[in-house]
Amino acid sequence: MWSIVCLSLFIAVSISVVSVNASALSVLLRGEERAEEVLLRDLITGESCPSPDPSLYYQPVIGIVSHPGDGATGRLSNSTDASNIPASYVKFVESAGARVIPLIYNEPWDILSRKLDLVNGVLFTGGWVKKGLYFETVKKVFEATLARNDAGEHFPLFGICLGFELISMIISEDNDICEPFGARNQASTLQFTDITDIVGSVFERFPSELLIRLSTECLVMQNHRYGISPRKLQENVALSSFFKILTTSADENNEVYISTAQAYKYPVTCFQWHPEKNAFEWGSSLIPHTEDAIQITQMIANYFIREARKSNKRPSSQQVRDNLIYNYSPTYGGKAGYGYDQVYIFY
Ligand SMILES: *[C@@H]1O[C@H](CO)[C@@H](O)[C@H](O)[C@H]1NC(C)=O
């Protein structure tokens, strides 16, 4: 497999060489093994393109639940019906090779339920609302996610920041399970609980140097007032039997909270931090934008969509297109110099 990847790279390089220096190419080719020359010729003439794994789905779609409000504290809309999805979450999903269907939280459940049937995974965003219809919708979508997995579909879920807090409240059946933390607008490290847990987790394909830098440099963005301490999780049987702690982080007062958690029995991964912000949000000077930080956004997104490709749902393409987020336009809310850069607003 790797030799084919390397060979493809070699071909890509070689083809650009052909026009400028054909004799250099033939020198290169003569240096190769004869079998590889044959393989190379087959690849060039397109005679043996290996098929992608037929058990995976290459048109995955992710449902993102919208959050109440305009996402810009009234600068864009004060409508009480308004809800939003920050575009950074949409770009995060799109950057890994999937499309997005918005699950507008205040639509009737029969419509939401039909949209859920069109997606191969779900994402709960950050935000601040923890009750009312929004909480009820998140709860129903979460329960539907577990039910689909129980029925044999591989149906991944990412819960980010508020999404993690809501899932913790739902599982523990305790709306006060979250504790206050001072991690508003702060970049932090991730401390791995057990290095052997990295296999099969969202960090599974991270290069080891990047894993080391994650634990020693502040490469991930925190923006939360609440969280769950490892002790709180361990004290709650429902929560500790559902989640394994992958990483912890410390807030401004050195209080430790769970920063990444993975479900034992479900493809559910939760983040108290914001993998989508490094590449796609600019409203705080503290958001890391180094090449390592951007690679973190990309690798976390790649894992999510890799999981979504395992979903066996093959919804109608037209119904998918009719509901995609491309039916809406994002609004630039970041001109004020803070908050989300772009938001999709739904009325
Ligand atoms: C929303 O309400 C606030 C406070 O009354 C006001 O300053 C703002 O202009 C309103 N936003 C819009 C988009 O009308």
pLDDT by residue, tens only, the chain of 347 residues: 444 444 344 444 444 444 445 555 455 555 555 666 656 666 666 668 889 999 999 999 999 999 999 999 999 999 999 999 999 999 999 999 999 999 999 999 999 999 999 999 999 999 999 999 999 999 999 999 999 999 999 999 999 999 999 999 999 999 999 999 999 999 999 999 999 999 999 999 999 999 999 999 999 999 999 999 999 999 999 999 999 999 999 999 999 999 999 999 999 999 999 999 999 999 999 999 999 999 999 999 999 999 999 999 999 999 999 999 999 999 999 999 999 999 999 99
Q: At what angle do helices 34-44 and 2-20 cross, to 10 degrees?
A: 70
CATH number of 61-327: 3.40.50.880
Question: Which residue spans of the chain are classified as CATH 3.40.50.880?
Answer: 61-327
Does the CB atom of residue 193 touch ligand 1 within 6 A? no
Burial code of 20-36, b = ≥16 C-beta within 10 A, e = fewer? eeeeebeeeeeeeeeee
Q: What is the pLDDT of residue 227?
A: 97
Instruction: Count CB atoms within 10 A of the CB of residue 89.
Output: 28
Centre of ligand 1 to C-alpha 332, Å, is 16
Judge whether 285 and 185 are in contact, CB under 8 Å: no
Q: Establish whether residue 73 lines the binding site of ligand 1, counting it when its CB lies within 6 angstroms of any ligand atom.
A: no
Q: How far apart are CA 269 and CA 116, in angstroms?
A: 19
**Residue 76 CA, closest ligand 1 atom number:** 13
Runs of H (alpha helix) within the chain: 2-20, 22-30, 34-44, 87-95, 109-116, 132-150, 162-172, 208-216, 230-235, 237-242, 277-280, 291-308, 317-323
Percent helix, strand, coil in the chain, to 5, is 40, 20, 35
Nearest CA to ligand 1 atom 10: 74
Residue 76 CA, ligand 1 centroid: distance in Å:
8
Q: What is the pLDDT of residue 47?
A: 67
The string of DSSP letters for 190-242 reads -EES-GGGGTTSTTTTS-HHHHHHHHHS--EEEEEEEE--HHHHHH-HHHHHH
Contacts of 321 (CB under 8 A, 6+ apart): none
Segments in 250-290 forming alpha helices (H): 277-280
SS3 at position 18: helix
Atom of ligand 1 nearest to the CA of 78: 1
pLDDT on residue 345: 98
- Please identify every residue annotated as catalytic: 161, 274
- Rounded Cα distance between 222 and 322, Å, is 35
Question: Does the Cβ of 79 fall within 6 Å of ligand 1?
Answer: no
Q: Which residues contact 118 (CB under 8 A, 6 or more apart)?
A: 61, 63, 101, 315, 316, 319, 320, 323
Angle between helices 87-95 and 291-308 in degrees, nearest 10: 70
